Amino acid sequence: MLTNLFSPLAIGPHELAHRVVMAPLTRMRASQPGNIPSALNAEYYGQRATKGGLIISEGSPVSLVGQGMPATPGIHTPEQIEGWQAVTDAVHSKGGKIFLQLWHVGRISHSSHQPDGALPIAPSAIAARGQAFTASFERVPFETPQAIDIDLISLLIDIYAQAAANAKQAGFDGVEIHGANGYLIEQFLQARTNQRTDQYGGSIENRTRLLLEVVEAVSKIWGSERVGVRLSPFGIANDSGEDDPLRLYGHVIRELNRLHLGYLHLIEPRASGAGQAEVDHKNVPSAAELFRPAWSGKLIVAGNFRPDTAEAALAAGHADAIAFGRLFIANPDLPERIRRGAALNPYHRPTFYGGGAEGYTDYPSLDDAMEAAE
């Protein structure tokens, strides 16, 4: 029945056995001090791994400057690399694949996360509307960031490259560059957050430059076929949004198309709040349908998918694989449940961010549920 979801797919050199991908999901449960992936984190990812399945890790800050939320596991210290090694081992021991999501939040940070309490960096000194998450889990208004000096942009690209090399050392199978949801790369892409007058701002070509330079630097480490890029052309998360997304993202995707990436990962506009609320916008365009013609590589799509709509999107040729976020939080064995047409556990939003095992590693699999019933 779900023949498309359970047909094989090659992503670069990786032969996937099915197309039920785990979306990147920040859970704010890294061990402290040091934002280090823990044994509990390894258990969580191991539970969600399947033979030939693809997991994309939660966003992993490429540097302390790139961190915006407490207890998010970074990829810039030896201890973090070691912590991630246990995560990749847990996934590989079940025959799964895992990509690390390279994350820099830019202005969606707070000085409490920054070295020496400095202001966060961004393309331009424009504060986001809304509330930052401080290092002590408090919510306070965003600060006005400092515009990154042009001389420091090459350093920023080196930081991405180093993080990508660290991910390799930690045993990942590839990396995804987070270019979505209002974070640094998207802040450069979009006009409202990028009012620079140098070669990284102004025209669409200039605003796309940082993303392309990061892709190029990371591809040198991994080979482009092991690199993915995530974009949210119609997103509004973290005070983002572009007036003419078709024009901007048409250009971005055509440029990326020349680089032979492992995949492009798009978030659908009906989930424009990036899973932060129970929104399901109706009568909105489909990013997959709109941008597919500009993209000749593999396409992963996310955003409010259910098993039936996921199968339909694949059957219609709109995407090659579907990433599930919230359903994967609540269903450690999501691919198996979908395959069998089994009921899905509901997710519990209050335990999405922070805390311990509750709402993290204690959602039952079908086998657990059966044992409990016996």
Q: Which residues bind ligand FMN (CB under 6 A)?
A: 23-26, 58-59, 101, 178, 180-181, 230, 267, 271, 274-275, 302-305, 324-327, 352
Shortest distance, position 352 Cβ to ligand FMN, whole Å: 4
Is the CB of 102 or the CB of 221 nearer to ligand FMN? 102
Is the CB of 123 or the CB of 228 nearer to ligand FMN? 228
For the record, the structure tokens of 266 come out as 């798009």
Q: What is the DSSP letter of 47?
A: H
How many helices (H) does the chain have, and how many strands (E)?
A: 11, 14
Is the CB of 56 or the CB of 201 nearer to ligand FMN? 56
For the record, the structure tokens of 296 come out as 């000749």
Name the residue number minimizing CB distance to ligand FMN.
275
Is the CB of 18 or the CB of 230 nearer to ligand FMN? 230
Q: What burial class does residue 206 get, using C-beta atoms within 10 Å of its C-beta: 0-12 exposed, 13-18 middle, 19+ buried?
A: middle
In contact, 227 and 212? CB cutoff 8 Å: no
Is the CB of 104 or the CB of 230 nearer to ligand FMN? 230
Is the CB of 186 or the CB of 225 nearer to ligand FMN? 186
Shortest distance, position 26 Cβ to ligand FMN, whole Å: 4
User: Is the alpha carbon torsion for 305, 308, 309, 314 positive or negative?
Assistant: positive
Determine the Cα–Cα distance for residues 223 and 202; give it in Å rounded to an integer: 30
- Catalytic residue selected from 183, 249, 360, 363: 183
Question: Measured between alpha carbons, how far is residue 273 from residues 20, 35, 197, 350 in Å?
Answer: 22, 26, 30, 17
Is residue 14 within a helix (H) or strand (E), and if so which, with residue range? strand 14-16
Q: What burial class does residue 326 get, using C-beta atoms within 10 Å of its C-beta: 0-12 exposed, 13-18 middle, 19+ buried?
A: middle
Determine the Cα–Cα distance for residues 277 and 365; give it in Å rounded to an integer: 25
Helix axes 153-169, 204-222, angle to 10 degrees: 30
Q: What is the DSSP letter of 66?
A: T
> Dihedrals φ, ψ of 179, to 5°?
-115, 25
Our answer to whether residue 44 is catalytic in this structure is: no
Report CA 221 to chain centroid distance, whole Å: 19
Name which of 240, 232, 83, 221 is nearest 160 in CA terms: 221
Is the CB of 201 or the CB of 241 nearer to ligand FMN? 241
Is residue 48 within a helix (H) or strand (E), and if so which, with residue range? helix 39-48
Residues with active-site annotation? 183
